[in-house]
Amino acid sequence: MEAEIEQSIPTSDLLIFPDRHPPVVTGIKMYLIGMLIRLTVIYLALKNYYAPLKVILVLKKLESLRKHYMGNYNTLKLIHIGKQYYWDMHSPGWPSKAFNNFNESEMNRIYPFRESKEYLNSVIIAITKKCSLNCRHCYEWDELNKEDKLSLEDLKEIVNYFQSKGVAQIQLSGGEPLSRYDDMIELLKSAKPDTDFWIVTSGYKLTLERAIDLKNAGLKGMAISLDHYDPEKHNIFRGTQDSFEWVIKAVENAHIAGLVVVFLLCPTKEFTTYDNLIRYASLVKKLGAAFILLIEPRSVGRFAGKDVALTREQELILEKFYLKMNFSHEFSAMPAVSYHGYHQRRIGCFGSGSRYLYVDTDGDIHICPFCRQKMGNVLKPSISDSLERMKKTGCHKYKHAEI
């Protein structure tokens, strides 16, 4: 199977890429690390509950939630970056304060030990309208390259608010967040070290110096958009002939800096075949990716009013790919895959203020980047009421997650 994957992209194309390997941990080492992670969760439960019976019930409930989320599948690999281990890009690495925050928030949902029962796990914050690309699927298309409204102080206030609420992961997006590089450095330096920070980027002008400075300022990882394994087709989708080259350079610089590398793929109707997905996975394996994140196209932004939704057959192709990459021994050396659609169709949506939400470039909060309905502004005193309304409104397509 490995030979089949390696042959899925012409050899001549592979020569232009650095030959790396995903930082995957399997076998006995994964089992031992997994045991240590479980012991950490047990310690957190013991720390927050004084009744042994309640500790046992919480741990059983957490295991039930894990199975509900993953199905009847056992994790076959962990991702090892620096001194931390990850099983999913949306869960903080272990060991870390963010990992502890994440798990304590989930425990608090089951048996509250804090004043508030509800805690967000993740927030996506669009920090700029600026972008040098012309992407076909841009969900901020109507605001692109207008004047930024959020000052650096506004962004610091937003980050501080969500950190005070125990958010374990914050993703900085745009526009192109690297267009606001200096402010992003200051924002990261001013934040508390209790949260994992990521950026969602095209790789625009990510020099080695910038990658190292971002890492030193507190950045954990980068979700780099790559929408095709073919350089020309990726560049056409992104609206610039330089985009693929930016990606390759950004990935190598991110690796050297010690950042977690995720490839973000929008699998369009034209792209979504099993063969294309395997070719894509083969390329990103060569590039040493930790994860692949699949984001289905939605009829918002530049795609508004267009028939971009995948067919049910194509959804099943993505699900097959997701399951094989994560839970099949023959793909154990490949990057792990995150796929929201798989879980949304089974257990509901984690957005809408349930576990995550989206803050746009004006500070307005939305259920997610694709459910565009302003539910208030994070800089207004009434933000708590807005979050409550958001939870009641829910996702336009999926029910609230049942876990």
On whether the CB atoms of residues 121 and 98 are closer than 8 A, the answer is no
Over the stretch 92-105, which tens digit does the pLDDT of each residue have?
999 999 999 999 99
Q: Cα–Cα distance between 223 and 207 in angstroms, integer? A: 16
DSSP for 63-97 reads: HHHHHHHH-S-----EEEETTEEESSTTS--BSSH
Q: Cα–Cα distance between 238 and 339 in angstroms, integer? A: 22
Tell me which residue has tokens 């369009």: 268
Cα distances (Å, whole numbers) of residue 306 to 297, 301, 315, 340, 395 = 10, 10, 18, 21, 20
Q: What pTM did the predictor assign?
A: 0.91
- Hey, which residues does 197 pair with through a beta bridge? 170, 219
Over the stretch 34-85, which tens digit does the pLDDT of each residue have?
999 999 999 999 999 988 899 999 999 998 888 877 777 888 899 999 999 9
Q: Which of 23, 90, 93, 167 is nearest to 339 (CA)?
A: 90
Q: Which of 169, 373, 146, 135 is nearest to 247 (CA)?
A: 135
Q: Cα–Cα distance between 290 and 87 in angstroms, integer? A: 10
Strand spans (E) along 87-218: 122-126, 169-173, 196-201
Q: Which of 208, 289, 299 is nearest to 254 (CA)?
A: 208
Q: Could you tell me which residues come within 8 angstroms of residue 286 by beta carbon, excluding any fewer than 6 positions away?
A: 14, 17, 18, 19, 20
On whether the CB atoms of residues 100 and 229 are closer than 8 A, the answer is no
Identify whether 335 is preceded by a cis peptide bond (ω within 30 of 0).
Answer: no
Cα distances (Å, whole numbers) of residue 64 to 17, 90, 403 = 42, 19, 9
Instruction: Determine the pLDDT at residue 363.
Output: 94
> Cα torsion at 66, 68, 74, 79 (round to 10°)?
-50
- Hey, which residues does 219 pair with through a beta bridge? 197
Angle of helix 243-257 relative to helix 231-238, nearest 10 degrees, comes to: 100
- According to DSSP, the β-strands at 169-173 and 24-25 are unpaired
**Domains of the chain by start residue, with CATH:** 2-18+114-393 (3.20.20.70), 25-110 (no CATH)
Tens-digit pLDDT string for the chain (403 aa): 444 445 444 443 443 556 788 899 999 999 999 999 999 999 999 999 988 899 999 999 998 888 877 777 888 899 999 999 998 888 999 999 999 999 999 899 889 988 776 678 899 999 999 998 888 888 888 888 899 999 999 999 999 999 988 899 999 999 999 999 999 999 999 999 989 999 999 999 899 999 999 999 999 999 999 999 999 999 999 999 999 999 999 999 999 999 999 999 999 999 999 999 999 999 999 999 999 999 999 888 888 889 999 999 999 999 999 999 999 999 999 999 999 888 888 777 776 667 888 999 999 998 888 777 788 899 988 777 777 777 777 676 666 665 6
Instruction: Determine the pLDDT at residue 15.
Output: 39
Angle of helix 97-110 relative to helix 27-48, nearest 10 degrees, comes to: 60
Q: Cα–Cα distance between 391 and 124 in angstroms, integer? A: 17
DSSP for 109-124 reads: HHS--SS-S---SEEE
On whether the CB atoms of residues 299 and 256 are closer than 8 A, the answer is no
Tell me which residue has tokens 């901020």: 140
Instruction: Determine the pLDDT at residue 28.
Output: 95
